[in-house]
């Protein structure tokens, strides 16, 4: 049991470092998906440990919400790309003083 | 357990590769590796439904969405190395290492109690068990997520919609524009040749040869030309010289004979 949770924590950490480090908006999004997947793994592992399927249902809901989030997020990135011609997170800086 | 110890290092390596991959498409493929590994782990954790949903939803839908948007946005866009906040990358990596160390040390020493296992909950089958919960205790959340999905689909349509700013150019407008270009610069006003008229080969990286042996410019995609993976036209024109020799004519002077032949086409034996 411990090993599944430790693996989930490692994947989550790698995803969070990716969100902080990468510049391409789509790769940042992929690292967010990695973090969501890591938490899904922890949920399913705890479902096995506690003996009921609530963890798996929660993981199912996380997957659905992640799908909806990816749809809207990628549509936003595409809209920004159409006007700014760049997918870099550094270029969306109009609100900077 | 062997499933875990085989796939866990592969997943961690793929996730680290996702961190440092220069091209976004490589990052997407490494994420697919992580998701396949996760699907295997779900199978080993007695969650077959979730394993298949992971493959179908995450890899079949979400990763395909990522790849489509990558194709739209540009596959050759790579991260700039210039930092807008100084030292951000180094501090992010250090903070990540610290967080990872805290997680691993803390969780490795935690004891989670006896693993009850899912044999009782899966007594009727995993899918029946999940269905009992999903349409029983969590039915309100189920309906709320269906509303969320409808909202997401409508939102994507609204965001991706393009309003036409000027009236659409009709056939008459296009024909008039072509005639004006011909009058101004002599550009050919007719159609381009249909695909395959001058083609020498089926492959997309092989340019079509014009009748005098030079490569036609528009016959290979811009992306391939930018990457430099186009096959050389003079090498393919070698067999034209061979056939002309067979027919007893002098080789045509318009071709560049100094390019070395590729090994793709065999030298014709006279």
Distance from CA of B169 to the nearest CA of A (A): 21
Distance from CA of B189 to the nearest CA of A (A): 31
Q: What is the ipTM of this complex?
A: 0.93
Between CA B15 and CA B25, with CA B20 as vertex, the angle to 5 degrees is 80
Q: Which two tokens stand for residue A83?
A: 């006007």
Cross-chain Cβ contact A65/B130 below 8 Å: no
Cross-chain Cβ contact B103/A10 below 8 Å: yes
Q: Which two tokens stand for residue B234?
A: 């003079």
Distance from CA of A53 to the nearest CA of B (A): 6
CA B14, B15, B16, B22: dihedral to nearest 10 degrees?
Answer: 80
Q: Which two tokens stand for residue B14?
A: 């793929």
Residues B20-74 have pLDDT tens digits of: 988 889 999 999 999 999 999 999 999 999 999 999 999 999 999 999 998 888 7
Q: Which residues contact B197 (CB under 8 A, 6 or more apart)?
A: B208
Q: Is B228 exposed, middle or buried (0-12, 13-18, 19+ CB in 10 A)?
A: exposed
Q: Are B44 and B2 in contact (CB under 8 A)?
A: no
Between CA B221 and CA B227, with CA B223 as vertex, the angle to 5 degrees is 120
Cross-chain Cβ contact B107/A9 below 8 Å: yes
Residues A44-93 have pLDDT tens digits of: 999 999 988 999 999 999 999 999 999 999 999 888 888 887 778 877 77
CA B171, B172, B177, B180: dihedral to nearest 10 degrees?
Answer: 140
* CB of B62 less than 8 A from some CB of A: yes
**Local structure of B182: helix, strand or coil:** helix
Cross-chain Cβ contact A90/B84 below 8 Å: yes
Closest-approach residue (CA) in chain B for A39: B38
């Amino acid at each position: 049991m411990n090993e599944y949770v430790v693996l989930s924590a490692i994947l989550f950490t790698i995803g969070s470092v990716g969100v902080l480090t990468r510049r391409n908006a789509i790769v940042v999004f992929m690292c967010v998906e990695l973090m969501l997947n890591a938490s899904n793994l922890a949920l399913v592992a705890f479902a096995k440990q506690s003996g009921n399927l609530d963890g798996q249902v929660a993981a199912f809901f996380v997957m659905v919400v992640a799908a909806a989030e990816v749809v809207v997020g990628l549509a936003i990135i595409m809209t920004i790309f159409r006007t700014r011609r760049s997918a870099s997170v550094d270029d969306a800086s109009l609100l900077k003083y | 357990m062997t499933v875990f110890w085989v796939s866990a290092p592969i997943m961690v390596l793929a996730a680290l590769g996702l961190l440092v991959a220069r091209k976004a498409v490589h990052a997407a493929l490494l994420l697919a590796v992580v998701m396949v590994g996760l699907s295997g782990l779900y199978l080993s954790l007695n969650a077959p439904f979730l394993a298949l949903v992971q493959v179908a939803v995450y890899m079949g839908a979400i990763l395909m969405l990522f790849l489509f948007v990558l194709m739209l946005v540009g596959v050759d866009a790579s991260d700039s190395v210039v930092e807008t906040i100084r030292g951000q990358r180094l501090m992010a990596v250090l903070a990540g290492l610290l967080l990872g160390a805290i997680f691993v040390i803390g969780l490795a020493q935690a004891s989670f109690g006896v693993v009850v296992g899912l044999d009782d909950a899966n007594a009727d089958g995993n899918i029946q068990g999940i269905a009992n919960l999903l349409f029983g205790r969590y039915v309100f959340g189920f309906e709320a997520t269906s509303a969320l999905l409808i909202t997401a689909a409508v939102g994507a349509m609204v965001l991706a919609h393009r309003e036409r700013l000027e009236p659409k150019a009709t056939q008459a407008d296009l024909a008039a524009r072509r005639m004006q270009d011909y009058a101004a610069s002599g550009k050919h006003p007719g159609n381009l040749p249909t695909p395959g008229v001058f083609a020498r080969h089926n492959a997309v990286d092989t340019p079509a040869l014009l009748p005098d042996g030079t490569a036609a410019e528009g016959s290979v995609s811009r992306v391939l030309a930018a990457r430099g993976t186009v096959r050389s036209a003079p090498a393919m024109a070698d067999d034209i010289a061979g056939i002309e020799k067979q027919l007893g004519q002098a080789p045509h002077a318009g071709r560049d004979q100094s390019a070395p032949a590729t090994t793709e086409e065999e030298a014709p034996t006279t």
